[in-house]
Amino acid sequence: MPLPSPPPPPRPAPVRHGAPAARHIVMLAFEGARLLDVTGPLEVFSAAARLGGRYEIHLCSPDGSAVTTASGTRLAVDAGMPESGAPPLDTVLVPGAEELTQGRFPPGLLDAVRTLAGRSRRVASVCAGAFALAGAGLLDGRRATTHWRHTATLAARHPTLSVDPDAIYVRDGHLFTSAGVSAGIDLALALVEADEGPGLAREVARDLVVFMQRPGGQSQFSVPARTPRPRHDALRALLDEIAADPAADHSNTVLAAKAGLSPRHLARLFREHTGTTPAGYVEAVRLEAAQTLLANGESATATARRTGIGSDETLRRLFLRRLGVTPSAYRARFCTTTR
């Protein structure tokens, strides 16, 4: 199938002798792609270019036609895939779509992924875009990740693939895969840091008001958000109260009294609906609150007090046990995207 040539680019500004060439970033959009999978990484590279990074961004589709994303937003693309005579490609980005997880690929997508991958320095997927990389044969025998809801499906469909269900993004050689939707922003920031250094990546993160590096893995996302809402009214009220004020007295005795239940009955309900004990749930919420405070520059002492964890030493032991790092090391992670 002949591929149309991209339109001529605008006349570039004069280039100083010996200046490095721009890195060409190609986002391969297609029918049904998730909008944020496309626009999130492009915002990162666009901000990086505006702040001095050497990037040129291209939005393409397999056949050069405009595409309609999963949200119904219509995206006009630059053209079809760049032809072989075009400037060398640096990075190819493949967004995700729900259909990909079901083994349904838009016409021409897998061929386009293979072609672009053969001409680029590195290939990256966002969310379920990993299914397109795997379907194109790029991930055989590799490590990868995808949206937490689909990691088991990806592993079952591609047995030679080692799937990390808890990673925000995974690098295996020149191949990068990222977790659900907004993790594409995390990955793009890491790519900018690798290209241009942590200084520019930090400026981009500040410009977009996002974490330089998101804390933890996919399992570190909001405790209330990833806990199914219990059917039991009293338990629902307790979970809301814990989330609203982590530092309050949430001992088993106090919680049971508020719910009008015995401590034993309350423990059974927690185990049934949250998969953990009352104390375990409270600890997880407090840890999450502590992560947020530390990331925003709060001291360890104030963080321990404001979250109900208690002392600096208790905070330190909790971080080591649950995250494998000290509070100070955790705070330092926000200075770089490197994991």
Catalytic residues: 127
Helices (H), the chain: 35-50, 98-101, 109-117, 129-135, 151-157, 183-196, 198-208, 223-226, 233-244, 252-259, 263-274, 278-295, 300-307, 312-322, 327-332
Residue with tokens 């629902």: 236
CA distance 57 to 48: 11
145 contacts 184 by C-beta, under 8 angstroms = no
CA distance 261 to 254: 10
- In total, the chain counts a number of residues equal to 339
CA distance 76 to 134: 27
What burial class does residue 62 get, using C-beta atoms within 10 Å of its C-beta: 0-12 exposed, 13-18 middle, 19+ buried? buried
Across-strand partners of 292?
none
180 contacts 147 by C-beta, under 8 angstroms = yes
* DSSP state for residue 163 in the 8-state scheme: E
Residue 217: its H or E element:
none
* DSSP state for residue 79 in the 8-state scheme: B
Long-range contacts of 277-280 (CB under 8 A, 24+ apart): 278/250, 278/252, 279/252
